[in-house]
Amino acid sequence: MKIYLIDKYRKNTKLIKALEESGITNIEQKEDINYRINKTDIVISTDAEVDYDGYQKINNLIILTKTNEKNQIWNMANKLNTKDIIQIKSNNDGYIAERIKKCIGEIKKWNE
């Protein structure tokens, strides 16, 4: 199982550091989703609200979003196979990292 962070503009380096501090290692940072992903791989995306088509094939998707629009969040939850949608309101990378860590732990239990 691999963990990918899709971040087109590489703005989330602080989040990667926070994830590594919380115990999640071997995170690969990618600019887009145009590569092979296995069923058990976990994808953390900051760009999923833009491109639903590319993300529909992913089984374990965690979305980080800044939107407050209910319809857009509803579409992400229902059109994609999301395990969690985390709304980013401030630069609280520690909270986001702990929530992602908890979600990854649950995904690992489901895959066993």
- The predicted pLDDT at position 7 comes to 85
- The predicted pLDDT at position 50 comes to 63
Mean pLDDT along residues 67-94: 86
- The predicted pLDDT at position 61 comes to 92
Model pTM?
Answer: 0.88
Q: What is the pLDDT of residues 35-71, one digit of tens each?
A: 888 888 999 998 766 667 788 888 999 999 888 888 8
CB 75 within 8 A of CB 52: yes
> Residue 83 — very low, low, confident or very high, per pLDDT cuts 50/70/90?
very high
Mean pLDDT along residues 79-84: 90
Mean pLDDT along residues 8-30: 86
- The predicted pLDDT at position 16 comes to 87
Q: Name the residue with tokens 């971040």.
A: 7
User: Average pLDDT over the chain, rounded to whole?
Assistant: 86
Indicate whether 97 pLDDT > 70. yes
Residue burial 48-79, b: 16+ Cβ < 10 Å; e: rest? bbeeeeebeebbbbbbbbeeeeeeebeebeee
